[in-house]
Amino acid sequence: MFAWWGTVVGRIRWLILVGTAAFVAFAGIWGTGVFDRLADDGSLSDPASESQRIIARVADEIGRANVHLIALYSSDTLEVTDARFRDPVNAVVADLKADKAVEMVTSFYETKAPSLVSTEKNATYVPIRFVAGTGEAVVKQVRDRLAIEGLTTQIGGQLAVNLDIDKQVGDDIVRAELIATPILLLLLVFIFGSVVAASMPLLIGGVAILGAFTAVRGLTMVTDVSVFSINIITILGLGLAVDYALFMVSRFREELDKGYEVNDAVRRTMATAGRTVAVSGVVVTLALSGLMIFPQMLLRSMGLGGASAVIVAMLTSLTVLPAMLAVLGHRINALRLPWLRKRKIPTVTGAVAKTADSGVWARIANSVMRRPVLYTLGVTMILLLLAAPFTRVQFGGVDERVLPPGTESRVVSERLASEFDGDGVDPIRVLISGASKDTATAFAKQIEDVSGVRATSVAGQKGDSTLLTVGYDGASNSEHARNIVVGIRDLPPPAGAEVLVGGPTAGVVDQVNGLGERVPWMLLLVAGITFVLLALAFGSLVVPLKAIVMNLVSIGAAFGVVVWIFQDGNFAGLLNFTPTGYIDASQPILMLAILFGLSMDYEVFLLSRIREQWDTLGDNTAAVASGVQRTGGIITSAALLLCVVVGAFATSGITFIKMVGVGMLVALAVDATLVRLLLVPATMRLLGGANWWAPKFLRRMYSRYGFHESDDPDEPVGAKPEPNLVTTH
């Protein structure tokens, strides 16, 4: 099928390219409008969890009590009771009360609440709540009217944090592209030795990203998608497009060097590297689709965005790229590096310049297979050492500390915690429904007996519903605070009453528990589907099982490094983030999905060549050496290029995006070196012919439908090549 498609693409190449140009124009206008349709919400909350259900119940039974924005006013010379401080604040409050978009606004001057004044008496804050459904543009307009001349004005609150994160994400994408693109171009030119060849991966990457933006905008018409999906779209859209283009262009040049005509070279490229790209794209997409089983908006959005990026990158590589290759032909080698003009340019794989058993990668593989036990034990010990910190991981949630130090909304949260007494703006909240006021008061006394509780107070009461706030010391994400939530939930409710516990701390408890319940199902789904696909593709039950284990080992090493850096705080100054003592529970899940797919990308490419040589030679050792020789250079090059892409995102100002970037960087480096070049050959040597064991029915299916990436697919009539060493003068 792929050879047939390569023939078709060669015939309709101009139609494909004209259609692509029209699509790029459309995507550049309509597709990039996705930024205005993405939700600012990066929620990791399960809508069905107790901490989420209480929000609607409080609004229905007592009235909304949440705060969206906080205007913090302070002065180095005036106290809050001074008229020069008081009067302008009252004027702002009066202006907000007249705004139909503002549901609630109050101040110390109205309530006389001590908690609204700092301990130094030189600062006060104004809490603001908007009418349900108020748009972001209105919120921004209100925020811009809060500044008071003569006083220091700082805007915080959850909406302000969300807006700052949104802005930071946009800035990060621009910075990452500015960092990655020139480095990628230089590396590609060095790898290919030709500017034209090097431009193909970047061209395909650009089309893939625009296509993914367009696909996601279409998705926003039927479901909400988080703004954070843009990061994964950019990483995977560009990264995998570069990888796939590297596979395809390298193979195309190899076929040209063998003497095939351009159209035949395209056909053969599609029959071999094209099939690899298709299998890889399906496996990576399925791995990311595992995120769909989570109800949390952020993970679901990452799954939608990531799967869209992979599918578009795969389809672009299988249509636009071969059409470009058919048009360019031998001009793919144009604009060569000066020092390569007098000699033939080698392919990335080195398959033309080196025989399958004499190249540097084959020598590495043979060296490993002469001492398989030593290499297996040595590499395993290194990987276990890297993974060891993950055994003491502490999971938590996301707060304003994910923003860079000094960000205004983060500073407000820090000042409220350090300069003001009281329970803050987001204490633990307890709703007691179906109980009298006296019964609720008695239950509040029981809550005060829970270890760590400082005090309880009534925040609202209506009919037989009472809302309590629970004060405690420390951060809302701390283990101490989470233990309080668990302790309150363990209390027996008053007879005939229902008790719900909410607030940010309860949200973290529910998030960690909810994610933990679904992770095993995600692993089972992704591993099961991958196992079946690889078993069918390679005609073995041992190889796919070993591939899954290898992937988990390399991912485990990355998780250990992430804990050592981001939980323990090592290199915090260098990477410019604030360690919290725990890891956001959602990020390892996201990394697992992405890295499992990417690792399988390299695994498929390596195993396809090894299996082909096993079928040809029947010698396991020779097949492994030949497979490593044919793929070692391209896997290393692909990993290096992808490391540049994800490494650029490690510069993000958002801590959890930075963490994903660093984790992926480590995992890719480990996977492309320790695992693919050392551990895989060593274990395949130890298993020998057992690598390819399969029951009879699977062998029959493989013989008919399996993955056969041969150097010599069926020749069309008259296509036999003559030797052709391309030279330049």
Mean pLDDT of 659-683: 87
- DSSP letter string over 227-265? TTHHHHHHHHHHHHHHHHHHHHHHHHHHHHHTT--HHHH
- pLDDT at position 355 is 45
**CA torsion through residues 357, 549, 547, 247, sign:** negative
Residue 404: count of CB within 10 angstroms of its CB: 17
Residue 555: count of CB within 10 angstroms of its CB: 26
CA distances from 572 to 257, 313, 410, 424, 578 (A): 50, 34, 17, 28, 6
Bridge partner residues of 118 (DSSP): 420
Question: Under 8 Å CB-to-CB from 406, ≥6 apart: which residues?
Answer: none
Question: Under 8 Å CB-to-CB from 264, ≥6 apart: which residues?
Answer: 255, 716, 719, 721
- DSSP letter string over 84-111? HHHHHHHHHHHHHHT-TTEEEE--HHHH
CA–chain centroid gap for 234, Å, is: 10
| Tokens 């199902």, residue located | 521
Tell me the backbone φ, ψ of residue 699, rounded to 5 degrees: -65, -40
Bridge partner residues of 462 (DSSP): 465
Separation between Cα atoms, residue 35 and residue 112, nearest integer Å? 43
CA distances from 57 to 64, 472, 599 (A): 9, 24, 45
Mean pLDDT of 392-400: 82
Contact 184, 202 (CB under 8 A): yes
Q: H helices of 572-654, where?
A: 572-575, 586-617, 620-649
403-509: CATH topology: Alpha-Beta Plaits (3.30.70)
* SS percent in the chain: helix, strand, coil, step 5: 65, 10, 25
Question: Under 8 Å CB-to-CB from 242, ≥6 apart: which residues?
Answer: 184, 188, 201, 202, 204, 205, 638, 641, 642, 645
Structure confidence by residue, pLDDT tens digits, 88-108: 999 999 999 999 899 999 999
CA–chain centroid gap for 25, Å, is: 28
- Rounded percentage of the chain residues whose pLDDT exceeds 90: 27
- Which CATH number, 1.10.3470, 3.90.550, 3.30.70, 3.40.390, labels domain 70-156? 3.30.70
Separation between Cα atoms, residue 322 and residue 266, nearest integer Å? 6
End-to-end CA distance of the chain: 39
Confidence of residue 246 (pLDDT cuts 50, 70, 90): confident
Tell me the backbone φ, ψ of residue 457, rounded to 5 degrees: -145, 155
Is pLDDT of 710 > 90? Answer: no
1-36+193-353: CATH topology: Multidrug efflux transporter AcrB transmembrane fold (1.20.1640)
Structure confidence by residue, pLDDT tens digits, 334-382: 887 765 554 444 444 443 334 445 578 888 888 888 999 999 999 999 9
Strands (E) located in 69-173: 69-74, 102-105, 123-130, 152-156
Which tokens in the block code for residue 297? 């908006």
DSSP 336: B
Label residue 495 exposed, middle or buried (CB < 10 Å: 0-12, 13-18, 19+): exposed
Confidence of residue 161 (pLDDT cuts 50, 70, 90): confident
Using DSSP's 3-state secondary structure scheme, residue 16 falls into helix
- pLDDT at position 92 is 94
Which tokens in the block code for residue 116? 């609204």
Residue 573: count of CB within 10 angstroms of its CB: 8
**CA torsion through residues 586, 591, 177, 647, sign:** positive
Is pLDDT of 144 > 60? Answer: yes
In the chain, residues under CATH classification 1.20.1640.10 are: 1-36+193-353, 354-402+511-707
Contact 236, 316 (CB under 8 A): no
DSSP 568: T
Is pLDDT of 332 > 80? Answer: yes
CA–chain centroid gap for 482, Å, is: 27
457/485: higher pLDDT: 485
Residue type for position 336: R
- pLDDT at position 698 is 84
Is pLDDT of 712 > 80? Answer: no
Radius of gyration from C-alpha coordinates of the chain: 30
- pLDDT at position 351 is 38
Mean pLDDT of the chain: 84
Contact 5, 277 (CB under 8 A): no
Residue (of 661, 640, 666) closest to 650 by Cα position: 661
- pLDDT at position 93 is 93
- Max distance between CA atoms of the chain, in angstroms, equals 96
Cα angle for residues 432, 436, 439 (degrees, 5° grid): 75
- pLDDT at position 471 is 85
Separation between Cα atoms, residue 461 and residue 193, nearest integer Å? 74
Confidence of residue 715 (pLDDT cuts 50, 70, 90): very low
Reported CATH class of domain 354-402+511-707: mainly alpha
Separation between Cα atoms, residue 644 and residue 246, nearest integer Å? 15
Tell me the backbone φ, ψ of residue 122, rounded to 5 degrees: -115, 10
Is pLDDT of 422 > 70? Answer: no
| Tokens 């050392």, residue located | 678
Bridge-based pairing state of the strands 395-396 and 583-584: parallel
In the chain, residues under CATH classification 3.30.70.100 are: 403-509
